[in-house]
Amino acid sequence: MSGWRRITTRADFCDAVVDRVILGDGLRFVIGSDATISGQAHGVALSGVWTWNEGYFCRNARVGEAETGKDCEVIEVAPGRMRYTRDRGRGASVVVTIPDA
């Protein structure tokens, strides 16, 4: 058993992820309760905004001067970890840690 659980509601997403430091390969960021995203990606400022839309985490972010583009992602959690899969679950997946989870 993988231990991953799909997040399907904004309330569950907020309980599991929001306002916590998230760490990954070259990443350190916070998805804020004020609908912002802030932190660092490989030493460059990461910023953006997010919404919850029909079971997906949707974000529009910028790394330094580069736009990452809009994307809606499937969010799954396991103890101390989050996995997000781009393009509504059809794209690449990334696993990050949530140290205080």
Give me 20's structure tokens.
């916590």
Two tokens at 33?
A: 């309760």
* pLDDT at 1 > cutoff 60: no
Q: Is the dihedral of CA 30, 86, 58, 100 positive or negative?
A: negative
Report residue 45's pLDDT band, with 50, 70 and 90 as the boundaries.
very high
94 neighbors 84 (Cβ within 8 angstroms)? yes
Domain count, the chain: 1
What percent of the chain stands above pLDDT 70? 97
Domain with 47 in it = 5-97
Extract the runs of DSSP E, i.e. beta strands, from 1-101.
Answer: 5-7, 21-24, 27-31, 36-41, 44-53, 56-63, 66-78, 81-85, 93-97
pLDDT exceeds cutoff 70 at 101: no
